Copies of this chain bind each other. A is one copy, B any other.
Amino acid sequence: MAEQARVGDRGGGRAEAGHTGRRGAGSGTRDAILAAARQRFADLGYHGATIRGIAADAGVDPALVHHFFGTKERLFAAAMRLPVVPGDLIDAALAGAGPGRAGESLGERLVRAMLAAWDVREIRDTFLGLLRSAATSEQAMTMLRQFVTEAILTRLMAAAQAPHRAGDTIPSTNQARATNPARATDPAQARLRAALVASQVVGLGLARYLVGLDPLTRASTDELVAAIGPTLDRYLTGDLS
């Protein structure tokens, strides 16, 4: 899965690579775009940086940036050397794809997708590196906050607002709510629901992989899915009052 989900250029930010023996202007151009992107994201945040501005800095046409990377989200993932695009994992869970078993709820699939990603060393190390720089640099934190808000919370908000898709099961303890689900029609409420999900997922990642709290490092994926999945389901669509 990690191979399949790999994105972007892992060659680093050397814009001059094209002039130092590497074959093809394409590779040099790509590196120049990534170097410009890293700089713009750091200086202006995820929100403030534009593909147009990054293209200008790299001396290329914006269409070429779109051609290479697609969206700003994918360009960011490539520039930060993320081995996966976090939004792809969420999209897969929302669509009922990705790792998981038939009949699992959205919350369970989200926990499973997150653990499957973090259990790959390369992915884990990259995210922990991002967290570390965010913990020590206000600029990096702003960039991370904006990325999480725009690329991740927006998707989770949609999950809180949309009805469950076909194939989802409602956990039996939520049966009563299923007949009259407390869907978040208010965008502010949906944003809060999405942020609650993020708080539990980030806390799990931190406690299991960064702090290395013993019971969480030893727990199996299935144990964690069973324990935390219903929490995410409740945050997304349950009664929070």
A interface, CB within 8 angstroms of B: 131-132, 134-136, 141, 144-145, 148-149, 153, 173, 188, 191-192, 194-196, 198-204, 206-208, 210-216, 219, 223, 226-228, 230-231, 234-235, 239-241
When chains A and B are docked, how far (Å) is the Cα of A59 from the Cα of B200?
Answer: 45
Chain B residues with Cβ under 8 A from A241's Cβ? Answer: 226
By DSSP majority rule, is chain A's interface helix, strand, loop, or mixed? Answer: helix
Chain B residues with Cβ under 8 A from A195's Cβ? Answer: 207, 213-216
On whether the beta carbons of A198 and B227 are closer than 8 Å, the reply is no
Chain B residues with Cβ under 8 A from A202's Cβ? Answer: 203, 206-207, 211
Chain B residues with Cβ under 8 A from A196's Cβ? Answer: 216, 227-228
On whether the beta carbons of B141 and A132 are closer than 8 Å, the reply is no
On whether the beta carbons of A227 and B213 are closer than 8 Å, the reply is no
On whether the beta carbons of A134 and B191 are closer than 8 Å, the reply is no
A221 to chain B: closest CB distance in Å? 13
Interface contacts beyond A131-B135, A173-B173, A227-B235: sample of 12 additional A-B pairs, CB < 8 Å, sorted by A: A135-B210, A145-B212, A153-B213, A191-B214, A194-B215, A195-B215, A199-B204, A199-B206, A202-B203, A203-B206, A203-B207, A226-B240
Chain B residues with Cβ under 8 A from A199's Cβ? Answer: 200, 203-204, 206-208, 213, 216
When chains A and B are docked, how far (Å) is the Cα of A74 from the Cα of B131?
Answer: 30
Known: A200-B203, A226-B240, A234-B230. A211 touches B134 (CB 8 A): yes
Chain B residues with Cβ under 8 A from A207's Cβ? Answer: 195, 198-199, 202-203
Chain B residues with Cβ under 8 A from A188's Cβ? Answer: 215
On whether the beta carbons of B136 and A211 are closer than 8 Å, the reply is no
